[in-house]
Structure 1
């Protein structure tokens, strides 16, 4: 278990990191299935090549300890023109999404999520010229909502239905970057 003062490094994920990407993804879907839209059963049988492609797809970050063990992850995805943006004119080309935020249970409460979110902000600005970060979080996920609030994410007033949990809403949160 990492100590509170153990160094944590946040790195971009590439295809060569496919195994740690896979391991975190499978763990997150088993540990907190209600927090993610994908299900473990949908991805568990992927081939090595499919995991490599996923790891090298949208920009993802991993927080790692001094031994190189992955402690957490998230993905950053630009929002461009498309059906979602056309339906909601409040979403613009400067909006970037933060997706699939996960910190392993043994690393929670040690600032790993904080480091991942700061790195996501930097990546979004440098790589996508982001004006605003958006994310969705279950109304039931109090720890994640508290993390996001600490980092300046505020409700936009938009919600969507959780894809698998009847009656549960996903709240859209936003953080201006400029």
Structure 2
């Protein structure tokens, strides 16, 4: 296990960071091709306009919460990425996508910080459930989600069409506390 960095900063991506987002997203797909429903081949040829629009729409929608982790004074690259999104038809559900930590920062708490920030955002929206998919197996991702209280629901399904890999849907039931509602009034 690598020692923890002095500090991990988790923050929202901004619309003007689409190039860094693209770089990080493509790097994640190359590094961990069996962790995502999408592939490098499917995303590498997107136009600059498509990447910029994707992030602009997300950062202005109020329903998306793209996050990055940074290690201040260590690197100009993002240490990790996570995209939280309110369900299109049921606002009581928040989905987690694109969770990834750069290999050089794994084992240092980056994934935990990203996940907890997304869960806090879900609570602020009075969501009742946080849901994600994870490739089946004894992985650091699976262990993280179990440790944070996620539980498997349903049966595993193919990670993507024509894939032999299976993904398990996992869900965290959120208990709303008065403190969470007080922190984020208006919900």
**TM-score, with normalisation over the residues of structure 2?**
0.81
| 2:32 is equivalent to residue 32 of structure 1 | yes
Aligned equivalent of 1:71: 79
Cα deviation per residue 1:94-136 (whole Å; 9 max; x = unaligned)?
A: 111111100000000000000001100111222x321110000
Aligned equivalent of 1:177: 174
CA distance in structure 2 between the partners assigned to 1:51 and 1:17 by the alignment: 10
TM-aligned CA distance change 1:46 to 1:141, over 3 Å: farther
Stretch deviating more after TM superposition (146-155 or 45-54): 45-54
Aligned equivalent of 1:85: none
Give the gaps of 5 or more residues in structure 2. 59-63, 176-187
Per the TM alignment, residue 44 of structure 1 is displaced from its structure 2 partner at its CA by: 1.4
Q: CA RMSD in A?
A: 1.9
Per the TM alignment, residue 12 of structure 1 is displaced from its structure 2 partner at its CA by: 0.5
Aligned equivalent of 2:180: none
> Once superposed, which parts of structure 1, at least 4 consecutive aligned residues long, lie more than 6 Å away?
none
Cα deviation per residue 1:76-102 (whole Å; 9 max; x = unaligned)?
A: 111232xxxxxxxxxx54111111100
Per the TM alignment, residue 165 of structure 1 is displaced from its structure 2 partner at its CA by: 5.6
Does structure 2 conserve the Cα–Cα contact (< 8 Å) formed by 1:59 and 1:77?
Answer: yes
TM-aligned CA distance change 1:65 to 1:165, over 3 Å: farther
Question: 1:83-162 alignment to 2 at 5 Å?
Answer: 93-126=91-124, 128-140=125-137, 142-162=139-159
CA distance in structure 1 between the partners assigned to 2:43 and 2:5 by the alignment: 34
Question: 1:1-40 alignment to 2 at 5 Å?
Answer: 4-40=4-40
SS of residue in 2 equivalent to 1:130: coil
Does structure 1 conserve the Cα–Cα contact (< 8 Å) formed by 2:38 and 2:160?
Answer: no
